[in-house]
């Protein structure tokens, strides 16, 4: 569901030199000076706009850089982020003792260590950090330009916060939470949006916390700590709920797990995690170290917790949305249920076309549905609620394939007029022909 996991079939989750800062609560934050978003939003946007034959990042995506919803006080994504960070810090205070070395850890008092919090790392990352370092296979679909926004052959918009694992580990950061906006070309429905937010957690263990020369027992210690932390996190977020651990697959962890909780009578996948693959640690230049990692989707958790029905709502400026969350970034106990302030009328339009053929061969097409979704997003923005492919067939004689889509338009904050939607649909049809080379039917 929300947002999709890159690696398993189920839809789970659909820095440079460090500068030390402190927020009002006294929580230690690290941010990277060269990538500090507040001062660099314009240069990041320009970097994303730089023309290149393989730049497939449209202006609608570039414009989201620097919005930082996860850092806006009382934004539901910030509320969830705060709750997770607070819980993890209290776990660390109880559980992790400071090890007497000169390690680069953020010390809260003389005996315990804290998670270092990273929440403003650049969303523009290298292909190496996002995929290669994490052992994502060269032909994995998540790397393809139909799924990922590239700026050029090396740089891309991060598709997950795991993209920061090897960089932070290589800098000697041994316990961290890293959150940020992630970008994926994807389908359109109430739980998918091309920009969403994730949080990554990582702990690298000190050898004194493990059993020397005993891989099995060391891994068991790591797994046990990971599950204890995350089980407690689920209770902190959802209350006393039933939980289920199951085996999962991610290229960068082994073993890998997924946690499901039974909340309001529904089993929901809430996060992915595992013991970090030794090769990933090697890629971070820390051969021989061991640790765990987890990743979760902030939208997904916020939608479940507050019963927010549509992912587009996170981007609205409407006060009727935001007023419902006032004060919650500070009040970590309160559970509010979002009350939809409206359900404005839905307006749907269909469009059908022959897919473009590649190299004169009608049965081969370079067309990908995600290209179509992107044109719609560009033309109609957040007015599109859902797009469904409702008919697909290949003409036996000509070998050409036809797609028919239903597009549901609905404004979240007001009614749309038919004339307004007709105009969008007209423009969309034109763009489909000029940008994708389809033949309208």
* Residues in contact with ligand DAH by the rule CB under 6 A: 5-7, 13, 160, 162, 200, 250, 253, 272-274, 293-295
CA distance linking residue 176 with residue 27, whole number of Å: 13
Cα-Cα-Cα-Cα dihedral of 161, 163, 165, 166, to 10°? -170
- Give yes or no for a contact between 410 and 313, defined as CB atoms under 8 angstroms apart: no
Give me the least distance between CB of 148 and ligand DAH, in Å please.
12
Nearer of residues 115 and 353 to ligand DAH, judged by Cβ: 115
Give me the least distance between CB of 271 and ligand DAH, in Å please.
7
Q: Residue with CB nearest ligand DAH? A: 295
Bond preceding residue 255 cis, omega within 30 of 0: yes
Nearer of residues 76 and 274 to ligand DAH, judged by Cβ: 274
Query: Reduced to 3 states, what is the DSSP secondary structure of residue 74?
Result: coil
Nearer of residues 298 and 328 to ligand DAH, judged by Cβ: 298
Structure tokens at 422: 């007709």
Q: List CB contacts of 125: < 8 A, sequence separation 6 or more.
A: 155, 156, 157, 158, 163, 164
CA distance linking residue 35 with residue 40, whole number of Å: 7
Nearer of residues 158 and 403 to ligand DAH, judged by Cβ: 158
Nearer of residues 6 and 237 to ligand DAH, judged by Cβ: 6
Give me the least distance between CB of 410 and ligand DAH, in Å please.
28
Nearer of residues 237 and 428 to ligand DAH, judged by Cβ: 237
Give me the least distance between CB of 142 and ligand DAH, in Å please.
9
Give me the least distance between CB of 248 and ligand DAH, in Å please.
7
Give me the least distance between CB of 288 and ligand DAH, in Å please.
20
What b/e readout covers 332-353, taking b as 16+ CB neighbours within 10 angstroms? eeeebebeeeeeeeebebebeb
Nearer of residues 57 and 253 to ligand DAH, judged by Cβ: 253
Give me the least distance between CB of 224 and ligand DAH, in Å please.
16
Question: Within 295-417, where are the H helices?
Answer: 298-306, 319-322, 369-380
Nearer of residues 177 and 355 to ligand DAH, judged by Cβ: 177
Torsional class of 66: left (φ above 0), alpha (ψ -120 to 50), beta (otherwise):
left
Other beta carbons less than 10 A from residue 84's beta carbon: 22
How buried is 267 (Cβ within 10 angstroms: 0-12 exposed, 13-18 middle, 19+ buried)? exposed
Closest CA to 260 of 275, 239, 241, 276: 241
Nearer of residues 124 and 407 to ligand DAH, judged by Cβ: 124
Nearer of residues 76 and 201 to ligand DAH, judged by Cβ: 201
Q: Where do we find the tokens 């992912």?
A: 311
Give me the least distance between CB of 53 and ligand DAH, in Å please.
27
Nearer of residues 55 and 159 to ligand DAH, judged by Cβ: 159
Closest CA to 56 of 152, 142, 125, 143: 152
- Give yes or no for a contact between 367 and 387, defined as CB atoms under 8 angstroms apart: no
Give me the least distance between CB of 92 and ligand DAH, in Å please.
17
116-118 vs 175-183, strand pairing mode: parallel
95-100 long-range contacts, CB within 8 A, separation 24+: 95/225, 95/228, 95/229, 96/175, 99/206, 99/208, 99/209
Give me the least distance between CB of 244 and ligand DAH, in Å please.
16
Give me the least distance between CB of 274 and ligand DAH, in Å please.
5
């Amino acid at each position: 569901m929300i947002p999709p996991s890159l690696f398993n079939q189920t839809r789970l989750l659909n820095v440079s030199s460090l500068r030390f800062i402190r927020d009002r609560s006294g929580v230690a934050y690290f941010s990277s000076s060269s990538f500090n978003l507040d001062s660099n939003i314009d240069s990041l946007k320009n970097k994303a706009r730089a023309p290149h034959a393989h730049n497939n990042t449209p202006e609608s995506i570039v414009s989201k850089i620097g919005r930082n919803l996860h850092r806006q006080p009382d934004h539901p994504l910030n509320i969830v982020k705060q709750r997770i960070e607070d819980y993890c810090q209290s776990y660390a205070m109880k559980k992790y003792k400071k090890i007497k070395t000169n390690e680069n850890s953020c010390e809260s008092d003389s005996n315990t260590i804290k998670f270092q919090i990273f929440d403003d790392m650049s969303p523009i990352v290298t292909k190496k950090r996002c995929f290669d370092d994490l052992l994502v296979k060269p032909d994995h679909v998540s790397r393809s330009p139909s799924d990922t926004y590239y700026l050029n052959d090396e740089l891309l918009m991060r598709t997950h916060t795991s993209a920061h694992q090897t960089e932070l580990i290589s800098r000697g950061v041994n316990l961290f939470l890293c959150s940020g906006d992630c970008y994926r070309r994807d389908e359109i429905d109430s739980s998918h949006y091309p920009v969403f937010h994730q949080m990554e957690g990582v702990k690298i263990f000190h050898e004194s916390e493990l059993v020397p020369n005993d891989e099995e027992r060391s891994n068991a210690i790591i797994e046990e700590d990971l599950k204890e932390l995350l089980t407690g996190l689920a209770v902190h977020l959802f209350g006393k709920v039933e939980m289920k651990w199951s085996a999962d697959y991610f290229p960068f962890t082994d073993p890998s797990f997924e946690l499901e909780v039974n909340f309001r009578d529904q089993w929901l996948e809430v996060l992915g995690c595992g013991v970090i693959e030794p090769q990933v640690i090697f890629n971070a230049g820390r051969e021989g170290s061991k640790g765990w990692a987890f990743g979760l989707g902030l939208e997904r958790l916020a939608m479940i917790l507050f019963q927010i029905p549509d992912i587009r709502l996170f981007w609205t400026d409407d006060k009727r949305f935001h007023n419902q969350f006032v004060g919650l970034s500070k009040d970590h106990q309160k559970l509010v249920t979002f009350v939809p302030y409206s359900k404005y009328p839905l307006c749907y339009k269909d469009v059908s076309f022959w897919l473009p053929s590649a190299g004169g061969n009608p049965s081969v097409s370079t067309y990908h549905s995600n290209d179509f979704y992107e044109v719609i997003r560009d033309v109609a923005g957040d007015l599109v609620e859902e797009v469904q492919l409702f008919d697909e067939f290949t003409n036996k004689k000509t070998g050409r394939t036809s797609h028919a889509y239903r597009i549901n338009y609905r404004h979240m904050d007001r009614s749309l007029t038919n004339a307004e939607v007709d105009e969008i649909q007209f423009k969309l049809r034109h763009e489909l022909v000029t940008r994708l080379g389809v033949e309208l039917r």
